[in-house]
């Protein structure tokens, strides 16, 4: 069964202004799931603390910065281009091996398996900023406490709650592919490789075990921490602060900081107005490195059927 999200290319309804606290219909995550999530959140923080201590003592090399930036770019591409634009929204098409490579890179971000990530994000678009949205910052009460609860919930608190019901129906198209099912199920392997590869490279480049250790810290744990919080900020920050150049049925915002840090994903209002668009930064100054990569794939004949909103569609959706 091919699941199609019932999301219009252009939405003109006003966003919800509900402030009453309404908990999602799904309950708390299991104890084991909460422990695993807590470890996934806190271990990278411990890695940052350890890296800074070693850095103070001279345990930092230019190779560590290169590993941090290199694996940051690879994993943000995996999440933004692979998980999000390609597999959630089918904003372009590519060959199966490219899908597998992007799945591997996205899994190294340690945000769960690809199929689970896609299912939750499709659910988010179906319910964006309504009470059933898995990670809306709204609907958690009024006043400063409601704002704090909402921000925490949208940034990471949602990950400690159980999945919404019938999530599998949102990913039936991906489950129909044996190759993508296997690639998604290998999430623990990809995540481990995302730690081991920078450690090995760090050791080789520095010629020491200390180099392997700092490579693991900077290219692995610190990089995971940065990618986590940049990605989670699309759920939290980009539904609170920023501009709304287009009509959408939610509170999504374009935020220039995360437009840059998340390689184009921060042009979030544009994305919610045109969810199937391969390009999120539609104006010349809206840097969208993810789209530049997709265009490069297309020029190399590795991608095709790129979906873009027409100028007429953009004019109809633009807020006056």
pLDDT tens digits, 244-277? 999 999 999 999 999 999 999 999 999 999 999 9
For residue 158, what pLDDT band results from cuts at 50, 70 and 90?
A: very high
More confident residue, 2 or 149: 149
| Res. 14: pLDDT tops 70 | no
Return the SS3 of 135: coil
Q: What is the CA radius of gyration of the chain?
A: 20
**For residue 159, which of 51, 270, 35 has the smallest C-alpha distance?**
35
Interhelix angle for 31-56 vs 223-235, to 10°?
A: 130
- pTM here is 0.90
How confident is the model at residue 9, as a pLDDT?
A: 34
For residue 59, what pLDDT band results from cuts at 50, 70 and 90?
A: confident
Q: Of all residues in the chain, what percent carry a pLDDT higher than 90?
A: 86
| Res. 109: pLDDT tops 50 | yes
Mean pLDDT, the chain, integer: 91
More confident residue, 107 or 19: 107
Return the SS3 of 29: coil
For residue 320, what pLDDT band results from cuts at 50, 70 and 90?
A: low
Tell me how far apart the alpha carbons of residues 318 and 310 are, in angstroms, rounded to a whole number.
Answer: 12
How confident is the model at residue 17, as a pLDDT?
A: 36
How confident is the model at residue 214, as a pLDDT?
A: 96
How confident is the model at residue 1, as a pLDDT?
A: 33
CA distances from 120 to 65, 161, 183, 233 (A): 33, 12, 18, 16
How confident is the model at residue 275, as a pLDDT?
A: 98
How confident is the model at residue 26, as a pLDDT?
A: 58
Tell me how far apart the alpha carbons of residues 132 and 287 are, in angstroms, rounded to a whole number.
Answer: 32
How confident is the model at residue 313, as a pLDDT?
A: 97
Tell me how far apart the alpha carbons of residues 183 and 191 are, in angstroms, rounded to a whole number.
Answer: 12
- Burial (CB < 10 A; 0-12, 13-18, 19+), residue 246, is buried
Q: Comparing 17-21, 206-210, 223-227, 299-303, which segment has the lowest mean pLDDT?
A: 17-21
Q: Using an 8 Å Cβ cutoff, are 254 and 246 in contact?
A: no
More confident residue, 217 or 28: 217
């Amino acid at each position: 069964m091919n699941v199609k999200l019932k999301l219009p290319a252009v939405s003109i309804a006003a966003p919800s202004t509900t402030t009453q606290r309404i908990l999602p219909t799904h309950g708390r995550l299991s104890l084991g799931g909460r422990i695993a999530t807590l470890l996934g959140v806190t271990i990278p923080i411990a890695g940052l603390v350890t890296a800074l201590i070693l850095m103070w003592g001279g345990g930092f090399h230019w190779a560590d910065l290169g590993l941090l930036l290199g694996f940051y770019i690879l994993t943000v591409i995996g999440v933004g281009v692979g998980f999000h634009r390609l597999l959630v929204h089918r904003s372009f098409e590519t060959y199966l091996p490219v899908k597998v490579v992007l799945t591997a890179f996205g899994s190294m971000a340690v945000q769960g398996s690809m199929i689970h990530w896609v299912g939750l994000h499709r659910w988010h678009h179906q319910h964006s900023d309504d009470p059933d949205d898995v990670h809306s910052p709204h609907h958690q009460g009024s006043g400063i406490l409601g704002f704090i609860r909402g921000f925490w919930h949208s940034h990471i608190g949602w990950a400690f709650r159980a999945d919404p019901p019938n999530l599998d129906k949102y990913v039936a198209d991906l489950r129909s592919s044996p190759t993508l099912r296997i690639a998604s199920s290998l999430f623990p392997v990809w995540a481990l490789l995302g730690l081991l590869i920078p450690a090995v490279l760090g050791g080789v480049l520095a010629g020491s075990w200390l180099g392997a250790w700092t490579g693991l810290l900077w290219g692995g744990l610190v990089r995971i921490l940065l990618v986590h919080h940049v990605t989670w900020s699309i759920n939290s920050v980009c539904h609170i602060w920023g501009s709304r150049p287009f009509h959408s049925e939610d509170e999504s915002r374009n935020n220039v900081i995360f437009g840059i840090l998340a390689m184009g994903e921060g042009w979030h209002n544009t994305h919610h107005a045109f969810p199937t668009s391969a390009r999120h930064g539609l104006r010349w100054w809206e840097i969208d490195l993810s789209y530049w990569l997709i265009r490069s794939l297309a020029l190399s004949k590795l991608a095709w059927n790129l979906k873009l909103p027409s100028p007429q569609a953009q004019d109809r959706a633009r807020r006056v």
